[in-house]
Amino acid sequence: YCKKMPLTNYIDDTFTKAGFSNWQKAKLKFSKHEQSGFHKNAVEMVTKFHKNKKSIREILSAEYEEERNDNRKALMAILTSMQFLSQQGLPLRGVYINNEENAESGELNSNIHQLLRLRASNIPMLTIWLKKSQDKFTRPQIQNEVMEIMAHEILRKIASRFSGCKFSVMVDESTGISNAEQLVFCLRYVDDDLNTHEEFIGMHSLESTSAASITNTIEGIMLRMSIQLKDCRGQCYDGASSMAGCKTGVVTSLLSKEPRALYTHCYGHALNLAVQETVKKNHILRDTLDTIEEMMKLIKKSPKRETIFKKVKEEIALESPGIHLLAPTRWIVRASALVSISENYLALKETWLQLKTETKDSEMRAQIGGVERQMDSFNFFFGVELGRKILNMTDNISRTLQGPYISAKEGQNIMQMTVKALQTMRS
């Protein structure tokens, strides 16, 4: 014990440096040294040292635990970054870069990679993790799998809220940008406190747009979410024959299995159809919207003409908004398009004058001249102002009907009030 003492002021160095050699008085010397304070301190220090010393297994286990915690932090940073980008509707992927001279190959310009590099400033382990050649959990296949797991977890939580609740299904069929048929599926339910909730479940591919295919898809979604058709109390679709057909439609098919699942024609679709038919039957509104569509094409499809229009606005100091496109498939943009024409009337007329002098193409000049003559007519001006007032009301009611908390009765009341408001506008 005493020889292991690193430094000492002990005068007798027999038991510390030189070594014991007087064996004739060994017993006496040993007893005397054993009672000394130096020896007792040495024994105490060596004993404490051995108690505090960890085994190799304990040391390796501690290092492994530290490495595991670091890896967990890096993995959680990757998963939460994927979650953030998914919630914001931002793409994860980017252009793949194969740099043989640099170890950092891959989708370096992707949103996920740039976000991880930013977060690495606060998570040092993440920088080391991203420099690994493999097992980084950033491959596209792993990203898709992780997002699928997240989506299933969200659906399970949504499904748990439906336990014992009566609900309605809202379905619409559409064609995506990839030209594939897809089904938009939403559920609407009332909780025990009579609060209305509306949940978007997802978009599902369709083999065909037949009533049988749509019905099978709806029942398959409900089965996967552990929702029973016997608790369905409502159906809401558009008026297409495949959905609302009286013989082979989706409504008829589900009503045969659950008669209490009452059908309601979507108020938003019904309103849009009513507005379209009204506009078609009124020649002033119809011609006005057709002229506005031609004006949009002239301005928006030519950067040069749009630049001239903006310069004209600056010269006459107009603070009105820009020209809004008139999209035929959108429900709530007609009024804003008419408002933009009304508030930019003078700027547009001046724009046509400049374009006629600068345009050499005879066909284009004739088109510009035709639009200019329409703007000079009373019918066009009257159609813009009349449509602005009428469509502003219908656009507002369309926005209201799309709210997730409005009931069918409230929707009917709003419709009736709008009809009365429109009738009071008659002279």
pLDDT digits (tens, 9 = 90+) for 198-227: 889 988 888 888 888 899 999 998 888 888
Angle between helix axes 111-119 and 56-87 (nearest 10 degrees) is: 130
Nearest to 338 by CA among 281, 279, 414, 397: 279
Nearest to 146 by CA among 92, 74, 88, 225: 92
Do the bridges between strand 196-205 and strand 232-237 make them parallel or antiparallel, or are there none, so unpaired?
Answer: unpaired
Give the model's pLDDT for residue 186. Answer: 92
Write out residues in the chain with pLDDT < 50, as ranges: 1, 3-4, 6-8, 10-11, 102-103
**Which whole-number Å values give the CA distances from 44 to 50, 204, 369, in the listed order?**
10, 75, 108
The torsion angles phi and psi of 238, rounded to 5 degrees, stand at: -80, -175
Q: What is the pTM of this model?
A: 0.67
Nearest to 214 by CA among 188, 238, 178: 238
How far is 119 from 139, CA to CA, in rounded Å?
18
Give the model's pLDDT for residue 149. Answer: 92
**Domain ranges in the chain?**
2-52, 57-144, 162-265, 272-424
Nearest to 274 by CA among 374, 420, 156, 390: 390
Identify any residues that bridge with 235 across adjacent strands, giving them in sequence order.
169, 263
Give the model's pLDDT for residue 72. Answer: 87
Nearest to 147 by CA among 94, 90, 82: 82
CB 219 within 8 Å of CB 229: yes
Give the model's pLDDT for residue 381. Answer: 93
Give the model's pLDDT for residue 108. Answer: 64
Q: What Rg do the C-alpha atoms of the chain give, in angstroms?
A: 39
Give the model's pLDDT for residue 80. Answer: 92
Nearest to 127 by CA among 64, 197, 78, 161: 78
8-state DSSP, 324: P
**Which whole-number Å values give the CA distances from 406 to 155, 192, 267, 399, 420, in the listed order?**
23, 17, 11, 11, 20
CB 92 within 8 Å of CB 112: yes
CATH architecture, domain defined by 162-265? 2-Layer Sandwich (3.30)
pLDDT digits (tens, 9 = 90+) for 287-343: 998 898 888 888 888 888 888 888 888 887 777 777 777 766 666 657 888 888 888
